[in-house]
Amino acid sequence: MQREWTYQDFVKDALTRVPEVSCEVLREKCRERCVVLDVREPDELQTGMIPGATVLPRGLVEKHAHEHIPAKDVPIYVYCSTGNRSALVADTLLKMGYRKVFNVAGGIERWQHLGLPLEGQSAVCRVPNARLNWEEVRREFAIVGRHVPVLGSGERALVYLDHAASTHAPKTVLDAYVHFVTQEYANVHRGASFLARKATERFDESYYIVADFIGAELRKGCIAFTSNTTQAIDLAAHVMAHRPGKVITTEMEHHSNELTHRRHGPVLRCRVTDDGELDLDHLEDLLRKHEVKLVAVTMGSNVTGIMPDLGRIARMAHENGALVLADAAQALARTPIDVKPFDDPEHIDFLAGAGHKAYAPFGAGFLYGPRALMDEAPPYIPGGGTAAQVSTHGAEYLRAPDRHHGGTPNIAGVVGMARALQFLQSIGMKEIRAHEVKLVDRMLRGLKRIGGITLYGPADPEKRLGVVSFNVNGVSDLLAAAVLSEEGAVAVRNGRFCSHIYVDRLLAAAAKRQGGETQGSAEAAPTGAVRASVGLYNDESDIDRLLEYVERIRDRKWMGRYRVKGESVSAEFAGRCADRWMESTQDADHPMSDPDASAYGYLFEVLQPDGGCRTYLVADPETGDAMLVDPLREKVDEYVDLLQAKRLRLRYTVETHTHADHLSGSARLKDLTGCQMLMHAQSPAPCVDRGLQDGDTIELGKLRIDVIATPGHTADSVCLSLPGRVLTGDTLLINACGRTDLPTGDSEALYHSLHRLMSLPDDAIVCPAHEYNGRRASTIGRERKSNPRLQLKSAPEFVKAMREMNLPPPARMREAIQNNLKCL
């Protein structure tokens, strides 16, 4: 019985008659006399149109084409979203007698990705040498605008470098997914209603989209949908289980391509070299010496990104009577894939992949395999949808793939996965590959420049997918990943990546290369690695952020305190740098001496943490009342945006003293928000709403903040004490103190103010107004022990030391003092 034609069959048939042109060629041709037809539906036009195009939806072509096309010999270029529907329209126009009809390959999506102009926009045309517009691709992903909290400095834009684990879906894919769920949701193959027919059409079309993406044909081959790559590999193992022989896996494999085979029979394992490459001579030896039915190998390692020579492996396997199963989980969205015809000696017999690593929602995967084998194998999970006829004593099962689709499949997930593969095709897999190679090259070169880093896998970015695993010598992978996340907002993966055999082999080889020594101290011997993996929407700035924080980790300049319990890590702001006690500890009951502000019922953020001038945000989360301490005038707009984003109401600004080195933002914040400005009562500034005295309390919702008058740096200097920390202005700095050679400065007064602060708890975090050496914070206890100014035993000795400092005046002293006193 002849199989009924599908939508994709009609598209392929049309393209045997309709010539295709690229978007670049179309842009050139449109400078000549031609007609461009947009055959999308009206609700698809939000993304814009090719300039000069005429909208003629598919259903109106036969009736209205003559109204828009002046002559039968005028060149006609037809496009839709992706280039499929337009092929059918172009074929129809040929049958109507139009002689020069062309299909636009990739459709409007390809046009957008190339950065070509759209109707109503002012994009600059890059033709004839059009280059892919990666900013356009980047805007497809909402995650690009995601901000996450980081220790000590509020929130930062997330840098997602964990694409080897899962990828985010772009708007194009999510729109198709949501449209199906909201407008076409129905079960497949089981109903005559409009929705049931529409859902079945979408589902069946997905077979051909997947097949086209991997270069497969579906007469001898077969696509079966699964929930993920693991299930796809297990289905392949199930299909091969009844055949005699052993399975060869490799030391490079993910557990999904190892453990699934073990439960079906004997498994042999091909070695890897010390460099992490497959030892293909060993594979050939295994094939010669054993009866092997299947070679299961990754197309690209999820640890090193290494891409084995699959063509050579396939030839070797077929010459020895074995089939090949390729795990394409990592390769699917990163590099062009071609399973090749069945009669090609390099043909890939089975290929497994999943949508969630190819920019689709979770829950859908696929297995490609030989139709004959998949037809003769028993149903993977017998049940609804797998049988043609069931009696009391037996069952007659359907052909593949239906015989392996027990129950209702994840129809929406399959539709989303198919749409994601079309999205990738519209960009171009060669372009995607080149993009990732460029980013990996930047990452590898940067990590080598930093030094103190152990890299795993080839140094040549052309030899790996967009995956880089490494260790910072002497720092555990868990701690490094935690610091990257908690302080740099960089999402990476750490551990052994469900590839324990391979990672253990790489770690042992690295130790061997270093003469048997572990990297760093004995307690820091690596048991895993850090993995950064790039994707479509990553750019060079993402790589630079990763490198910046890896260098901080290398230099032990993280600012948090990290505690490990099992395989999890907790972090809190500590403000101490380069101290061994800051590294993760296995003591789960170790007391935390640096309090977390949220534990005391208030919000606390350090603004401008990397600048010399610090501003602090304090807020009561229940009432939303907030105050800013020592705000900078040039940052006022950013403060207002931050407060709005966090839905906080600014009640107060507090100036810890009259500044001589920067302009206060308090006066402008008063104008913009209506807040009150608080400052010591001795301040002559006319815009102060409340003069503070020693012992006063500032009430911020339920939070009580104590005022400590600390004259010395200036006569109007104050410090603010709140649970767990003290804001010290320019009175107490990290390992130093404020100068006293400015107007109203008094060295003896500062001596007594400093020693008054030493009565605060040792674990109180010191948060100064200025820090020019990159140190984040300190504690009262640490300053008492290490601050050289606090080691001076008497006031006269302190006064003498301050007099001998002989510092140059601040660069903007006169301007700053005058403007701050006048509230300008």
Amino acid occupying residue 812: R
Distance between CA atoms of residues 60 and 330, nearest Å: 43
Distance between CA atoms of residues 487 and 551, nearest Å: 13
- Contact present, 577 and 773 (Cβ < 8 Å): no
- Contact present, 229 and 256 (Cβ < 8 Å): yes
Q: CA 39 → CA 53, 208, 209, 370, 690, distances in Å?
A: 10, 22, 20, 37, 68
Number of H helices and E strands in the chain, helices first, is 24, 38
Catalytic residue among 30, 80, 498, 577: 498
- The beta strands (E) that lie in 418-549 are given as 453-456, 467-472, 490-491, 493-495, 529-533
Distance between CA atoms of residues 547 and 436, nearest Å: 16
The percent helix, strand, coil of the chain (3-state, each to 5) is: 35, 20, 45
Strand pairing report for 453-456 and 467-472: antiparallel
Q: Is 498 a catalytic residue?
A: yes
Distance between CA atoms of residues 762 and 657, nearest Å: 24
Residues 6+ apart with CB under 8 A from 125: 27, 116, 117
Residue written as tokens 């006609």?
A: 76
Backbone angles phi, psi at 192, to 5 degrees: -105, 0
- Contact present, 560 and 537 (Cβ < 8 Å): no
Neighbour count for residue 118 (Cβ, 10 Å)? 18
Distance between CA atoms of residues 454 and 567, nearest Å: 22
The catalytic residue positions are: 498
